[in-house]
Amino acid sequence: MKIKFYAIAAFALCLNAFTGSAQDIPPYTSMVYPGMDGKLVYAADSLGNKIPDFSNAGYKGGGVAIPYVPNKVTVWPVAGDCSAIVQAAIDKVSAMPLDANGFRGAVLLKQGTYPLDKPLYIKASGVILRGEGSTEIGTILFGRTVKPAAPAGRGGGAALINLAGDKGIAVQEATKQNVTDNYVPVGARSFNVASAKGFKVGEKILVRRNGNQEWIKEIGLDSATVKNNRWRPFVITYDRIITAISGNTLTVDAPIFTAIDTRWGGGDVVKYNDERIENVAVENLRGISEYDPTVRTAQYYNMDRPDNKPAAAYKGEEYYSDENHYRNLITISNAKNVWVRSMSAYHFVNSVVQTNAGTKWVTIQDVESWEPVSVRQGARRFIFHLQGQLALVQRCFSQKGRHSFVLQQSEASGNVFLDCKAVNPYSTSEPHNHWANGVLYDNVKAPLTARFWDYIIGWAGANIVMWNCEGDFLIQNPPTAKNYSFGHIGTASVIYNAPLQDLTKPRGYIESLDKHVAPKSLYLTQLKERLGIEAVSNIMLDKSDNFKF
């Protein structure tokens, strides 16, 4: 494996003599590089763990063009509250039959401003909510603060737009079969079960990675040593489809992102009934959350006092900090095969888009967040907020976010942030808590972390990959897993939340610091190798754009 890598490297050096200096050509890494057939090779450790294939992230499992769905109902704005007429249009389309492609139709909101006193809900498959532009002269949904004001964080229960099925998945526990391998490594798609007799190709299953109390102790988060963060044994679930069966060996469509190890509880597979909605979307409009501009908070800073005494706080700018308005623009629950695209959002307390646990195959693209309004403290401004699986967030922008591109909890796995940017952030983009796993930050410009937080949060993420990103970063290795940085341009030190950092934890794997690596995009290269160049073209904004290769 290393011989191949060195041969390719030597060839590249020879090529430089004809095409330019070695400094002009990005290097390949020692862990991901082309094999003799030109396709990527992934160096594995002694247990078989390797950099996973992330290309299953996105609508329909990645590489599928977002379709145009015909308009079935058209709505024009009216004076006063428009929530009833918009909801009625959504309900009308929701009652229409599904076509052969799984769509009912789109609700077109014509250009103009739509004051909304109530949140909107899409609860049926195949319904699209579409505007006529995300600019100030496009379609604007204006979420109004109802008087008298609701409790702080009014949108905590409902976003302005909710894509939410009434039911999710129902596990068939009677079908459970234990994984018999002693160890199934990160990146694996095949494993053995006690009996594959009851399974068929094409069936949906959950691959469950169990974690016992011994594992909690191994990662240093057992209650005996951590006073305020009492982690308990938990199960990580991977929502998969069986693609092949050979004897008692199952192969699934996407890899696992935390190793299954009998020492730590082993694993099992189980069938489920799927009652989630799908083929739902919001596109081409702007969302605004109304806030009270009289509510302001002073920002305090620290500076050295001239008398050489300890630093003292001084009052700086005041900023808009009302929180009695919508927290989220869009929340996605009990849904799969969803997209959100060509959107802009202003003034929300927390997120532009939040995917909840139980969601799968979501694409969020070309979405911008501007001027969030909230206190600049914890539990706010999680702008693109993923808690589900296999979502692709690409070409998205965040201004003045805290955790702009963020994940929470162990079901947040297989997600990809591609070509995203955060400006004027107040904290880092990151896996934020409780073992978010198997996440790719690909060409992201933002301060990033994959680390151990203080005792409140513990190990935030595992098997995280940062690829050709830019900005300050901090990366640490959790026990039983790894975090990686390849081709990162920035300083390996982050000043945000400095008192919460535990720098005694081992540093993660860093290669090619301050010099980008090849290929330019790991996700797009993996997608091309799995499905072909057409799949890459399907998700590009400019179909002629090949700068990633």
- 457-491 pLDDT, tens digit per residue, is 899 999 999 999 999 999 999 999 999 999 999 99
- Total domain count for the chain? 3
**Residue 2 pLDDT grade (very low, low, confident, very high; cuts 50, 70, 90):** very low
Q: Are residues 158 and 280 in the same domain?
A: yes
- Asked, for residue 336, whether it belongs to a domain, the answer is no
pLDDT of residue 118: 96
pLDDT of residue 17: 34
Choice among 154-163, 187-196, 534-543 with the minimum mean pLDDT: 154-163
**Residue 145 pLDDT grade (very low, low, confident, very high; cuts 50, 70, 90):** confident
- Asked, for residue 98, whether it belongs to a domain, the answer is yes
- Asked, for residue 145, whether it belongs to a domain, the answer is yes
pLDDT of residue 223: 75
Q: Are residues 177 and 127 in the same domain?
A: no
**Residue 20 pLDDT grade (very low, low, confident, very high; cuts 50, 70, 90):** very low
Q: Are residues 201 and 231 in the same domain?
A: yes
- Asked, for residue 289, whether it belongs to a domain, the answer is yes
- Residue 289 pLDDT greater than 60, yes or no: yes
- Provide the domain limits for residue 226: 169-274
pTM metric for this prediction: 0.93
CA dihedral 403, 405, 408, 410 (to 10 degrees): -150
Q: Are residues 313 and 176 in the same domain?
A: no
- Asked, for residue 201, whether it belongs to a domain, the answer is yes
- Residue 9 pLDDT greater than 60, yes or no: no
Non-local (6+) Cβ contacts of 286 within 8 A are 131, 133, 134, 135, 136, 138, 139, 140, 141, 343, 344, 345, 346
Q: Are residues 270 and 189 in the same domain?
A: yes
Q: What is the CATH number of the domain that holds 207?
A: 2.40.30
Q: Check residue 217 and report its DSSP letter.
A: H
- Residue 146 pLDDT greater than 80, yes or no: no
Report the alpha-carbon distance of residue 367 to residue 459 in Å, rounded. 29
**Residue 319 pLDDT grade (very low, low, confident, very high; cuts 50, 70, 90):** very high
Report the alpha-carbon distance of residue 513 to residue 507 in Å, rounded. 14
Q: How would DSSP label each residue in 237-255? A: EEEEEEEEEETTEEEESS-
Listed residues 297, 326, 355: the one ending a domain: 326
User: Per DSSP, what are the bridge partners of residue 215?
Assistant: none
Report the alpha-carbon distance of residue 13 to residue 22 in Å, rounded. 7
Q: Are residues 289 and 140 in the same domain?
A: yes
- Residue 450 pLDDT greater than 90, yes or no: yes
Which alpha helices (H) appear in 360-434, and where do they start and end? none
Q: Are residues 82 and 153 in the same domain?
A: yes
**Residue 503 pLDDT grade (very low, low, confident, very high; cuts 50, 70, 90):** confident
- Asked, for residue 492, whether it belongs to a domain, the answer is no
Q: What is the mean pLDDT of the chain?
A: 91
- What are 435's two structure tokens? 């073992």
Listed residues 214, 248, 274: the one ending a domain: 274
- Asked, for residue 339, whether it belongs to a domain, the answer is no
- Asked, for residue 234, whether it belongs to a domain, the answer is yes
Q: Are residues 109 and 58 in the same domain?
A: yes
pLDDT of residue 547: 46
Q: What number is the average pLDDT over the span 16-31?
A: 67
Tens digit of each residue's pLDDT (9 = 90 or more) over 176-220: 999 999 999 999 999 999 999 999 999 999 999 999 999 999 999
Q: Are residues 151 and 212 in the same domain?
A: no
pLDDT of residue 242: 98
pLDDT of residue 22: 52
pLDDT of residue 495: 78
pLDDT of residue 154: 40
Q: Are residues 235 and 205 in the same domain?
A: yes
**Residue 362 pLDDT grade (very low, low, confident, very high; cuts 50, 70, 90):** very high
Q: Are residues 60 and 160 in the same domain?
A: yes
**Residue 18 pLDDT grade (very low, low, confident, very high; cuts 50, 70, 90):** very low
Listed residues 239, 274, 309: the one ending a domain: 274
Q: Are residues 93 and 228 in the same domain?
A: no
